[in-house]
A and B are shown apart, each in its own frame.
Chain A
Amino acid sequence: MAKYITEINKQGNIAVDDTILVKDYPATAGSKMLENFVPLFSAEAVERVVAAGYTLSGKTAVGEFGLDLYGETSTSDICAAATLVADGEVRAALNVDLNGAPRRAAAIKGVTFVKPTYGTVSRYGVIAAACSGEQIGVTAKDADTAAEILTVIAGHDAKDGTSLKQDKYEYNTDISAKGMKIALVKELYDAADDEVKAKIDSAAAAYKKAGATVEEISVLGLSEIKTAWTILMSAETTNNLSRFDGVKYGYRTEKYKNIDELYVGSRSEAFGFLTKATIIYGSDVLSKGRYEVCYDKALKIRRKAVETLTELFAKFDALLMPAYSKADFEAYDVTDAFNKVYEESLFTAPASITGMPAVVTKGVQLVGNYFADGKLLALAKVLEKEEA
């Protein structure tokens, strides 16, 4: 498999995933729908890394619109950016974390990924699917490198209405773990396979050795959070993807006699199964009579999730949890892709639905309170040093 979907510069040191726009280079978001789409402008994060003196190497593969966690997309595709980083081909990669795919990829490949606090990195120039949760994050070989790139891309951008007002963020990765309180989330630990459990065990041991406490806790409502995020994500994705109708740009069917056939034909031929399933699910949860019991309820669960986690962070510095259940799925029929992704998002949904930061390193995931990105990176560094 080619390392890049589109190569930009052989000497480049930053890879960018294909849902992030780079002016004049195709941006497919992993979809046949956008196979001929060339953007007129670059994402703000891309502008910032280039302005800081980094060079773009190329565009990496993603699951269609970033929805896939590990369903219909091949492992090599979903791990494309993490593989380049692991192989030392680039210094870092920018990846959109919509449903946790880059977290999963980093965990599998043993590299570091930071999904920053929602609103700290501009989403301008991201091919949007689920605006309320997606964030550009950084895949790098270690926490220090991730922090270096995150410092460059984070900060207010007037072109994004959800961008927070702070101009600059600093991430101190040298905070001592001594005295820190870490909570190990029992329900998620139990849901993972032995290989993943072993990684969590060794992380817990490393923290204890570094002078932190590790306490096993129960978090209620994780299953509801998973469902609520799937509802919100699907609804927003349905809406954002409706612009891809074959009229203005992107794929257009050859078989149409009127506008309705143009819409139906283009979308039927160009979208993959998981995207279609997401669109159908997302249309349903927003429809008349279903909104109150699905979408609106999911918004309430989101608020409840923020409350629950905020309360936990009054007592703990970080939550320690797996980033995925197991490295590989057994074979299954493609029509089950949506359900597989839904089940797997149990591990990634808490940070996605709340917009709280998450850092993956050494195969484990740390979730922290808003703006605890630096603290999480510092905790990640403890594990990296332990194993080095």
Chain B
Amino acid sequence: MKYELVIGLETHVELATDSKLFCSCGGHAAANEPNDCVCPACSGMPGMLPVTNKHAIELAVKAGLMLNCKINQYTTFDKKSYYYPDLPAAYQITQWFHPICVEGTVEVGDRKIGIKQIHIEEDAGKLVHDDATNTSLVDYNRTSVPLIEIVSKPDFRSADEVITYLKKLKAALQFAGISECEEGAMRCDVNISVRPEGTDKLGVRSEIKNMSSFAEIKDAIEFEKVRHVDAIERRTEMLVQETRRWDEVKRRTFPMRNKETAADYRYFPDPNLMPIVIDDAWLEEIKASMPATAEEKGQKYVDMGIATKEAAVLASDAKLCSVFDAVVAQGREPKSVASWILTECMSRMRYLGIETLNIDPAKLSRIIELVDAGEITRAAGKKVLAAVFESDVDVDKYCDEQGFNAKVDEGAVLAAVKAAMEANAAAVADFKSGKEKAFGAIFGACMKELKGNGDPALIRELLNKELSK
């Protein structure tokens, strides 16, 4: 029998606000030491009252608009109670009864994934176990940092769909400045079940908690699929609805310690926070501040003459977009810029093992300008780019130092051709005896002789002429 996966995701991302959700402490990103960014409010001292961060509300609304959600113009904050040392007040302020956004959709490939809701909540702190003293230490820097939880419907049918969705979500959130989505700051709970293909009834669900790496999420899903199917087909185990965690070392999931009793979070509306009413004027203001979506941006690039596939790659990454836009704004030709970013810059990034493009657009623009104007060769341009990546050199100064100059006259090219032939007599002899492959070696020697300068077409022409003599 064939089985299909049914997956739903709960994705937590940190909102890009300057301060915490209910107090004026800076976000934990600003912290150097444990408990640096903590005040009586976010550490749960008695007497403090929460005051809502308006920017967090606006960012959550933006997220809802991006994911085609209905915005609840009447939204409330509720308290969720449980005891844990990383939760200083023993309750988390979240949105249980009236979440800010509901009923959205995201296109993944040719399928539509439903978004059940987006709600705002505060993050918890962090526990650190100190083996030396056998004590647990608590760090409240992250406490009350604003998060949104994006809850999808169980609409995913493969691990690939999940990853495509997450990548798209990450790009969209970065684009709109909703979240910086730093490494590990996007945390997912993955709900998985399997069922025979063509049936509607949902199978027994397991929830894999707190995953952040896309690659690990994919592996965990694949593992769970096999485990579920084995359990059904070969009765390897009895499936129960449970929470599991992914072990990155053992490459498998394990059930988390079962609590003796089911959690009862005793939700109720927070009497300290008045319901938030997002009136039409405010909603319009937020709508007006929305940046272009990745799709809109991609279409704009296509309209500029960039190939569809390249446009999509550029549009999927906020940093690539911002560099591209800045370089084009300096008057460079869009197709040329796209090629430099997608081929040369990305090859440098792969070589250096960097994930985000971090280059001064003015420098990239200058390199492209010099190459396009024939001042230096593309080969020289690549060398300059490498130097910019490695030690952030000044483009013009570096070209001078290296003697890069594509405008070498015919006499100098001819001299270099002759010198290269002389130094590679064996190759010349090979060529003349019919081994055409030897041409490359001699051509390379010419280029070297010219330090990458000179018009390659001219070099080729003169070399051919000399060799046929």
Contact = CB atoms under 8 A, between A and B. Distances in A.
Contact of A161 (B79, B91, B274): B274
Given A131-B272, A286-B266, A40 B40 contact: yes
A248 B47 contact: no
A242 to B, nearest CB: 4
Interface stretch (A118-126, A175-183, A190-198, A219-227): A118-126
Interface stretch (B81-89, B408-416, B427-435, B449-457): B81-89
A161 B52 contact: yes
A31 to B, nearest CB: 10
Contact of B266 (A27, A239, A245): A239
A40 B89 contact: no
A159 interface: yes
Interface stretch (A82-90, A102-110, A287-295, A314-322): A287-295
Nearest to B85: A247
A288 B96 CA distance: 14
B50 A239 contact: no
A162 B43 contact: no
Nearest to A65: B46
A43 interface: yes
A192 B52 CA distance: 44
B45 interface: yes
Contacts of A77: none
A40 B45 CA distance: 9
Interface in B282-296: none
B355 to A, nearest CB: 38
Q: Is the interface of B mostly helix, strand, loop or mixed?
A: loop
Interface string B44-70: 111111111000000000000000000
A344 interface: no
B47 A128 contact: yes
A126 B44 contact: no
Contacts of A236: 268, 271
B54 to A, nearest CB: 12
Given A158-B51, A161-B273, A263 B268 contact: no
A235 interface: yes
A160 B272 CA distance: 8
A238 B90 CA distance: 11
Given A125-B47, A161-B49, A243-B46, A263 B83 contact: yes
Contacts of A131: 271-272
Contacts of B272: 128, 131, 161-162
B200 interface: no
Interface of A: 21, 27, 29, 34, 37, 39-41, 43, 123-128, 131-132, 158-162, 235-236, 238-240, 242-245, 247-249, 259, 263, 283, 286-288, 291, 295, 299
23 contacts: A27-B47, A29-B46, A40-B40, A127-B46, A128-B46, A128-B49, A158-B51, A161-B272, A162-B49, A162-B271, A238-B266, A239-B79, A239-B91, A242-B91, A243-B88, A244-B46, A248-B44, A259-B136, A283-B266, A286-B267, A286-B268, A287-B264, A291-B266
Interface of B: 40, 43-52, 79, 81, 83, 85, 88-91, 136, 138, 264, 266-269, 271-274
Given A127-B46, A291-B267, 17 more contacts: A27-B46, A131-B272, A159-B49, A160-B49, A160-B51, A162-B271, A162-B272, A162-B274, A236-B268, A238-B266, A239-B79, A242-B83, A243-B91, A247-B138, A248-B88, A283-B266, A286-B267
